[in-house]
């Protein structure tokens, strides 16, 4: 998703620089769009040690397990005048990593990209929402002309939570059982587990915000059916033996439940199972 965001930003005339340790060479990528077009994207690269003392804009799009490692050399270059946009699954990945009183902008997208560097295919170009505790940045309106179906949300939390619950059901179940998304709806046993995960998530979110509508299962099953043949990001990570984002998705729900004194056995079970599956 970072590659797709970089493509939209460069189309809007913004310079995008990749921060990485291992190579000073430009990052060359191929992006295949849903209409069949193939776009080449060349992004300059800087080592963290060569960055300026102050970072004005930072897009955080690494997988959540690698957030601390990626952010460690950058935090001293961020202050309250910096703008950080978090473009990641789950919640909590930046907790404790930003200056006191700092609030990042958040992104929620229903677009989907598959493939590994340097080749990426955009399999769905859908709606994306940016939002946070501030007004839209000055550059936002112009960006909407180049980023399809881009919207601003003053309160982005409901969008985040709806996606969080869908991810908390579809991702771990498809990874643990190595099945495409549609099996969540079609298989009675998986659907029962999905029901339990949803009910627990709704219980936690309603405690955090009494206005949370709940009844998330219908939305989750709709997403599973709409993406029936897709491989979830967690299943893809699990298949290649990579760290998954379980701690930022179901793990975040478990952390909130522990703080609130709520029992969430189904979510706790999938967190334990996903962690164990990568150590076997």
For residue 129, what are the β-bridge partners?
108, 151
Intra-chain end-to-end CA distance of the chain, in Å: 29
Instruction: Give the model's pLDDT for residue 280.
Output: 56
What is the percent of the chain where pLDDT is above 90? 84
**What's this model's pTM, rounded to 2 decimal places?**
0.93
E strand residue ranges, 44-141 = 45-46, 57-60, 83-86, 105-109, 112-114, 119-124, 128-131
What span, in angstroms and rounded, lies between the C-alpha atoms of 250 and 64? 13
Select from 3.30.450.20, 3.40.50.720, 2.40.30.30, 1.10.10.60 the CATH code of 2-154.
Answer: 3.40.50.720
Per-residue pLDDT of 187-231, as tens digits, reads 999 999 999 999 999 999 999 999 999 999 999 999 999 999 999
Instruction: Report whether 67 contacts 96 (CB < 8 A).
Output: no
186: its two tokens: 């079609």
Residue partners of 23: CB distance under 8 A and separation at least 6? 45
Question: Taking 60 as the threshold, does the pLDDT of residue 127 lie above it?
Answer: yes
> What's the average model confidence in pLDDT over 58-63?
96
CA torsion 115→120→121→123, rounded to 10°? 60
Instruction: Give the model's pLDDT for residue 24.
Output: 80
Residue partners of 2: CB distance under 8 A and separation at least 6? 59, 61, 62, 87
Could you please state the CATH topology (level 3) that the domain comprising 158-277 is classified under.
Answer: 1.10.1040
115: its two tokens: 């493939």
Domain ranges of the chain: 2-154, 158-277
Question: Taking 70 as the threshold, does the pLDDT of residue 279 lie above it?
Answer: no
Per-residue pLDDT of 88-123, as tens digits, reads 999 999 999 988 778 789 999 988 888 888 999 998
């Amino acid at each position: 998703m970072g590659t797709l965001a970089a493509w939209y930003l460069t189309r809007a005339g913004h310079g995008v620089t990749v921060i990485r340790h291992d190579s000073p060479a430009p990052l060359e990528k191929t992006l295949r769009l849903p209409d069949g077009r193939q776009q080449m994207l060349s992004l300059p690269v800087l080592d963290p040690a060569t960055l300026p003392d102050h970072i004005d804009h930072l897009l955080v799009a690494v997988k959540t397990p690698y957030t601390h490692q990626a952010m460690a050399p950058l935090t001293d270059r961020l202050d309250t005048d910096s703008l950080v946009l978090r473009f990641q699954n789950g919640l909590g990945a930046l907790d404790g990593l930003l200056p006191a009183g700092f609030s990042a902008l958040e992104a929620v997208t229903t677009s989907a990209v598959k493939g590994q560097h340097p080749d990426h295919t955009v399999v769905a170009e859908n709606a994306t929402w940016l939002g946070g505790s501030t007004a839209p940045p000055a550059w936002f309106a112009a960006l909407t002309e180049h980023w399809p179906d881009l919207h601003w949300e003053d309160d982005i939390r409901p969008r985040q939570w709806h996606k969080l619950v869908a991810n908390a059901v579809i991702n771990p179940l498809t990874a643990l059982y190595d099945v495409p998304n549609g099996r969540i709806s079609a298989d009675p046993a998986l659907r029962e587990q999905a029901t339990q995960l949803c009910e627990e998530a709704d219980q936690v979110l309603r405690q955090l915000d009494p206005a949370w509508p709940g009844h998330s299962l219908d939305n989750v099953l709709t997403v599973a059916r709409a993406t029936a043949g897709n491989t979830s990001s967690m299943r893809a990570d699990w298949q290649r033996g990579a760290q998954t984002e379980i701690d930022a998705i179901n793990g975040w729900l478990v952390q909130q439940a522990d703080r609130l004194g709520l029992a969430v056995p189904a979510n706790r079970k999938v967190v334990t199972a996903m962690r164990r599956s990568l150590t076997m």
